[in-house]
Structures are given as C-alpha cells and as structure tokens.
Chain A
Amino acid sequence: MRLIDRAAQTNRWRHMPTAEKLAVSLCGLAVAALSPSPGVKGAVFLLMGGLVMAGARVRPADYLRALAVPAGFIATGVAAQAVTLSLSGGPVLALAGPEAMARALSFAATGFASVSALLFLALTTPLTRLVEWLEDRGLNPHLADVALVMFRMIWLTLDCLESGERALKGRLGHRSFRGILTSHGLLLAALLPRVLARARRLETGLAARGYQGRLVFLSGEAPARSARVWLTLAAFAGLFLAGHLA
C-alpha cells in the first residue's frame, strides 16, 4: 500500500513543479482517450513508463508492481467484452466476433496508456503537493486542510490496523470464518475511538502552537515554467496529429 507514496516521496523528480508533471500526465490521458490509433496509445504507454523509470528513476520492479493491479482490472474488463450474451432461447455465452474483439483490444490499449499516464503522476508527485496545487487553483482551504490531515492520518491509522490484525491473528482470531468476522469487527470498532482520540490530541497540540484554522506544510518545489508546460502540450498535440495522419 505504501509503494506508490514511497516512490513519489523519493524519486528524482519529486521537487519538479507539480503543474509541469500534471501537464504531462493530463496530456497523456487526453491523447490516450482521444486518439484512435493503437500505435499512439502504445507510444504513450512506453513514453510514460520511460519517463518514470529513466527520468524519475523509479525502480522498474516498483513500476511493474504498481502496474500489476490495474492490469488485472483491465484484463477482467477485456474478458467481459470478449464474450457476447444471447438471451433468446435461454442465455448463451459465446466468443465475440472479430469486430467486438478488436474493440475490446482497443479499449485495453487505451486502458494501459491511461494507467501509465496516471502512474506517471502518482509515482513522481507526492499527494500533498497535488492538494496544495488544487488549493492554489481555488479548492476551498477547509476542504484542502481536511484532505491534507486525512493523508497524514491514513498512515497512522493503517499502522494501528496492521498491528491490531497481527495481534488478533497471533491470538488465533483467524481460525474460522466466524472468528475472522468477530476479530475484524473488534478491530474496526476499536480503531474508530483510537483515530478520534488521536485527532483530538492533534487538535490540542496544534491549538497550543497557535493554530488559527489553517495548516501550512513546507514545500521545496521549484516554480513552474510556462515554456515547459507549452512544450509538453505541443509535443502531445504532435503525437496525436501524427497518429491521426498515419
């Protein structure tokens, strides 16, 4: 669960401007969604993977692990599209015709290209920077604060959940279906008061430090260069047009 966040916090491009990385990712998503050419989708997939592994220096093993779950979801979706269901005279399931197969494969290509664009953003940009970027663009500061504190609390809560789960497993709480349900029920019921108590302690601690209702997080991010953003847009527009003309 921490794989993507760890990569985002430690990669070589973590201090690069969020706006520039967001432009690359969103352009990749747009080209993957709008281009009819499978070659262009393949190019987006390879480009995004290359940027993440060669540019941001995210380990290939980490990249492939991050890609594994979405790939499973895409495969399930393609499998569902690769069969047809006839309801006349009882339900009959059959392999879809070549046209439907081609469409299923095209959607798989779109899926992989889009996921690679999403992973580019997720693996190179810490989530807190994205929330701060959204706040700079008009997201309500209260909602941004809730999201930022939530992000910090997720890891603490997850630690509590994992240690509780280990303890219950060690006490043979996972021996049967009923035991697992009771153990998980106890764990979740114990977790909520703990999380709320932690929230109250955090609030008291912040109040003691002069908290005025706004949380400020330090950021070592460089300012975005609009020339680079325009260059990104031009490069992806060129890729889209190349696919259209080919």
Chain B
Amino acid sequence: MHIMEGYLPVSHALGWAALSLPFVAYGARKIIRTLEEKPETKMLLAASGAYVFVLSALKIPSVTGSCSHPTGTGLAATLFGPSVTAVLGTIVLLFQALLLAHGGLTTLGANVFSMAIAGPFIAYGLYRGLTRAGASMAVAVFFAAALGDLATYCVTALQLALAFPDPVSGVFGAAVKFLAVFAPTQAPLAISEGLLTVVVMNLLSRYSADELKALAPATGKA
C-alpha cells in the first residue's frame, strides 16, 4: 500500500525522508564501491532492479478470492540483501511514482521506509534468524516473505496513524483503524506471497544456482 502523493503533512514527509536517508545512503555507498571495483556488475544490478519492479506488476490471488500485487520485499531481501534492496527499492518506488502514479515524490521517504527498509530488513532478519535456528529453507522463506509483507503494511498503518490520530482514541485508535482497513486484503495476501516466495526460492535454488552465485558479488553478499 503506497501512501499517495500529498497525503502526509509536510513535517511527516520530511521526517520519514530523514529517517530513510541513512539506510539508502549506506546501501548506495555499498553499491558504488562494488561498481567501482567490479564495473561488470552494473548490468546485473540493473537487471535485479527491473526484476524487483516487475515483481510488483504480477497479480497474485488472495485466499479471500480477490487479487492483488505482491510487495516483493521478502524475495528481494532474500536474493539481494537488505541494504542493496533499500537502494533498488528507492529507485523502484521513484519509478512507480513517475510511471504508474503509485506513491509520490513528497511521500517517497515514508514509502521507502515502509517498503524498502522496514519490510526487507525484517524479512532478511527473520530469514537469517530462522535458518540459523535450524528451520528448513522453505519455512524460513515463508515466514520472511509473509511477515516482511505484513510488517510493510503495519509500518504504513503506523505512518498514517501518526499523521492522522483518531479524534477519540488517538494514535493507537487510528493505527487499529488503518490496520483494520488493510487487514482483510493484506493478511491473506501476505500468506499468498509467502507461499509464492517459497515456490520461487525452491525453483531458483534447484535450477538456477549458478545465477544466484553470479548475483552474490553484485549485491555484496559474496
């Protein structure tokens, strides 16, 4: 769920942009250093970014019967790592604002924080934590993708609640209200996205191990 252009008060838009900046700057520095050392990885990174953009163009069925777009945060974070995903996600969100009118320029900071930082970092943390704890790859990928997706929407709801507290019940009540608006579509969609990501990762690790190895230096995971 993108926050639309002009929807946040100016102070909130600036605050979220300031909060996102260090993450994006760190990821950008990492990418620039990699590209200076290995210029040949530029095309691979660009291809990865295009893949992340296209992920959000795919419509997946929700278990309630409706269709929606996946966030792709879990898959992107698992494949490319969270700091690279922060930069690729920022470019993708800028492109989505200017090519699809989803999101916006003033709300870019808030959208980057929820979709390119909070979601991917939580997804990646869960993936690493669960695999280290001995969970199978399928279980780790499922929880990383599903909870990364849900985290994105919880952060968006919190951002909206902070901007528009409920006149009666304050920020908490507003957060409950916004979460209730998103939950009927997002909770089932998160489960669908988790299942889809498991299928994709299973197939990639079985048939595309070479490609995943090739990505490692480009994303700094080597």
Contact = CB atoms under 8 A, between A and B. Distances in A.
B26 interface: no
How many chain A residues sit at the interface, stated as a range, is 35 or more
Contacts of B160: 77, 80
Interface stretch (A51-59, A198-206, A221-229, A237-245): A198-206
Interface string A185-205: 111111111011011101100
Interface in B159-218: 160, 164, 166-169, 172-174, 176-178, 181, 192, 195-196, 198-200, 202-204, 207-208, 211, 214-215
Nearest to B157: A80
A154 B87 CA distance: 16
Interface in A160-178: 161, 165, 177
Interface string A81-95: 101111100010100
A231 interface: no
Interface in A116-157: 117-119, 121-122, 127, 130, 140, 142-143, 145-147, 149-151, 153-154, 156-157
Given A1-B99, A33-B10, A85-B177, A181 B192 contact: yes
B95 A127 contact: yes
A110 B10 CA distance: 11
A84 B166 contact: yes
A147 B91 contact: yes
B199 A185 contact: yes
B135 interface: no
B178 A202 contact: no
A87 B176 contact: yes
Contact of B104 (A81, A114, A150, A156): A114
Contacts of A81: 164
B54 to A, nearest CB: 5
B106 A146 contact: no
A235 interface: no
Given A73-B4, A77-B160, A146 B99 contact: no
B28 A143 contact: yes
Given A145-B42, A153-B50, A32 B208 contact: no
Contacts, number: 234
Contact of A192 (B95, B172, B211): B211
Given A76-B181, A143-B87, A177 B32 contact: no
A122 B196 contact: no
Contacts of B2: 73
Contact of B5 (A85, A87, A111, A161): A111
A149 B181 contact: no
Contacts of B54: 154, 157-158, 161, 191
B60 interface: yes
B104 A142 contact: no
Interface string B39-51: 1101111111111
Contacts of B43: 149, 199-200, 202-203
B199 A1 contact: no
